[in-house]
């Protein structure tokens, strides 16, 4: 390959590096130094070099497996976008191609497993998990990227390893040429396409992750790196730029939105404070912003941290877990932000024997009446539980505000929306031709009991339009 030069020969394969790779190192060094100082820049360069060592091992996984079947690999070239192993020919047998294609991701999987063991060495599992959650450690970040490389390379698209895996599997039943065409058709029809979620604007640290999605798929929540020392809980809407729900301070390394209600109105997650080494559960709503969820005050031992992991469909119940002063985990939940211990409710109702230890609450039904999780049973084994709450824990809410009477007129390609609203109730309309263009058409307007113009939607001559009406008590 032009503009590349050899740096080593390993197992008979020439390892080459493209000159643009050094431009990547220079850019990373200056970018990280700009967020901190020269030590941060050096850390960024070392991390990229460590990542590319993993890429080299990935490519040698392909090369050495191909050698087993008599196929040589003349060279491997490192580029800013990754590595390219040039085999002298493709395997003739589908099973051989399958194993050669899987060998690279398998190497990354082994690397991730080794790094996970390193993270746990001499550390309780829970603390190791916290390190991974906060993405604060060098090895933790490297482990997660190796896992990402496995998943990314197994996407069934050429020239990814996953495309060759798919072709090899098809070739066990079809002629090779037809298997190639079918695999290409599968990708072209969009069966394996994904939406790229952009990083926070203005940052040179692109790390981010997604955890929850709303019912119609228009909202995704997770975390995004705001700087070297700040991480934000964010929401992506329609695949667009992330909206910051809350940004961490310099002493807080991990803040993640883990769950979102189906209608996108309530988000739950946790903030990890590097100073205390503890989590604090939070709830976010569009009207109230982000609030910390207080731990339960009942029970013998106080809780020192909490994590919220799931929101009910109605947004009223959030489930999760915490850790008490003895270092033991306890399942918790919140109803309209009021905290409860699962053990308190279950033991009082006789649903679980007092010798049980409910560790975590992970699931909740649409109404919040049923909560599921796991804990240590009387036998000492880890077992699942389901706790059904009575009506006293989830009091009924007043009926939702009445929706307005919508009247519309279609005139010369434009849609004029008029409505008659109930006095004392605010209304707004959201809409779009599809989920990607879904937005708020106008600000909240108070109902007057009279017919008024709400919004005008132009250019509807060639497509339909989706409308969602929202109401709130004044």
Q: Could you check whether the bond before residue 159 is cis, i.e. omega within 30 degrees of 0?
A: yes
Contact predicate 406/422, CB 8 Å:
no
C-alpha 291/C-alpha 338 separation (Å) is: 12
Tally of CB atoms within 10 A around 1 = 11
Contacts (Cβ under 8 Å, ≥6 apart) of 352 = 343, 346, 358, 385, 387
Q: Which of 59, 97, 323, 329 is catalytic?
A: 59
Contacts (Cβ under 8 Å, ≥6 apart) of 275 = 251
Residue 452 sits at φ, ψ, to 5 deg, of -135, 160
Angle, helix 138-153 to helix 38-68, in steps of 10 degrees: 40
C-alpha 373/C-alpha 205 separation (Å) is: 35
Query: CA torsion 124→130→133→138, rounded to 10°?
Result: -80
In the annotation, is 330 catalytic?
no
C-alpha 459/C-alpha 158 separation (Å) is: 39
Q: What CA–CA distances, in Å, run from 359 to 281, 293, 343, 348, 441? A: 16, 18, 9, 17, 45
C-alpha 1/C-alpha 180 separation (Å) is: 26
Q: What CA–CA distances, in Å, run from 136 to 109, 130, 250, 352, 451? A: 21, 9, 12, 38, 56
**Alpha carbon 1 to chain centroid, angstroms:** 37
DSSP line for 101-139:
HHHHHHHHHHHHHHHHHHHHTTS-HHHHHHHHHHT-SHH
Residues found in the chain: 474
CA atoms within 13 A on the CB side of 451: 7
DSSP line for 213-270:
E-TTSSEEEEEEE-SSS-EEEEEEETT-SEEEEEE--TTEEEEEEEEE-TTSSEEEEE
> Which helix (H) or strand (E) element contains residue 294?
none
Contact predicate 236/199, CB 8 Å:
no
Contacts (Cβ under 8 Å, ≥6 apart) of 362 = 309, 310, 319, 372, 373, 374
Output DSSP code: residue 436.
G
Catalytic residue IDs:
59
């Amino acid at each position: 390959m032009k503009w590349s030069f050899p740096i080593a020969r390993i197992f008979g394969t020439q390892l080459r590096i493209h000159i643009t790779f050094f431009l990547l190192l220079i850019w990373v060094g200056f970018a990280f130094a700009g967020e901190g100082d020269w030590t941060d820049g050096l850390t960024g360069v070392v991390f990229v070099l460590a990542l590319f060592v993993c890429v080299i091992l990935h490519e040698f996984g392909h090369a050495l497996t191909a050698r087993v079947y008599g196929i040589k690999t003349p060279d491997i070239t490192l580029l800013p976008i990754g590595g390219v192993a040039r085999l002298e020919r493709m395997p003739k047998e589908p099973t051989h191609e399958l194993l050669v294609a899987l060998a690279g991701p398998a190497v990354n999987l082994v690397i991730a497993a080794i790094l996970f063991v390193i993270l746990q060495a001499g550390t309780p599992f829970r603390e190791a998990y916290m390190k991974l959650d906060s993405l604060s450690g060098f090895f933790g970040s490297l482990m997660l990227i190796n896992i990402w490389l496995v998943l990314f390379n197994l996407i069934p698209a050429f020239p990814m390893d996953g495309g060759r895996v798919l072709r090899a599997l098809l070739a066990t039943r079809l002629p090779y040429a037809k298997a190639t065409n079918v695999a290409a058709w599968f990708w072209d029809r969009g069966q394996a396409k994904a939406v790229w979620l952009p990083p926070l604007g203005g940052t040179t640290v692109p790390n981010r992750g997604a955890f929850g999605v709303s019912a119609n798929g228009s909202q995704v929540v997770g975390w995004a790196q705001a700087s070297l020392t700040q991480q934000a809980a964010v929401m992506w809407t329609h695949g667009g730029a992330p909206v910051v729900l809350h940004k961490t301070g310099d002493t807080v390394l991990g803040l993640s939105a883990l769950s979102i209600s189906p209608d996108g109105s309530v988000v739950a997650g946790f903030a990890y404070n590097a100073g205390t080494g503890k989590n604090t559960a939070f709830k976010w709503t569009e009207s109230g912003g982000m609030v910390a969820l207080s731990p339960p005050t009942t029970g013998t031992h106080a809780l020192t941290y909490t994590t919220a992991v799931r929101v009910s469909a109605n947004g009223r119940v959030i489930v999760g877990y915490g850790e008490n002063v003895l270092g033991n985990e306890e399942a918790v939940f919140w109803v309209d932000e009021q905290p409860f211990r699962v053990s308190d409710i279950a033991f009082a109702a006789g649903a679980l024997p007092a010798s049980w230890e409910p560790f975590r609450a992970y699931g909740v039904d649409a109404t919040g009446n049923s909560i599921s999780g796991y804990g240590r049973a009387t036998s000492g084994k880890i077992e699942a539980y389901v706790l059904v709450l009575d009506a006293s824990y989830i009091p009924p809410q007043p009926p939702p505000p009445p929706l307005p009477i919508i009247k519309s007129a279609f005139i010369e390609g434009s849609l004029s929306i008029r409505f008659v609203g109930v006095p004392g109730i605010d209304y707004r309309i959201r809409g779009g031709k599809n989920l990607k263009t879904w937005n708020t058409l106008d600000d909240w307007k108070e109902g007057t009991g009279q017919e008024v113009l709400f919004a005008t939607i132009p250019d509807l001559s060639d497509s339909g339009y989706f409308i969602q009406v929202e109401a709130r008590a004044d």
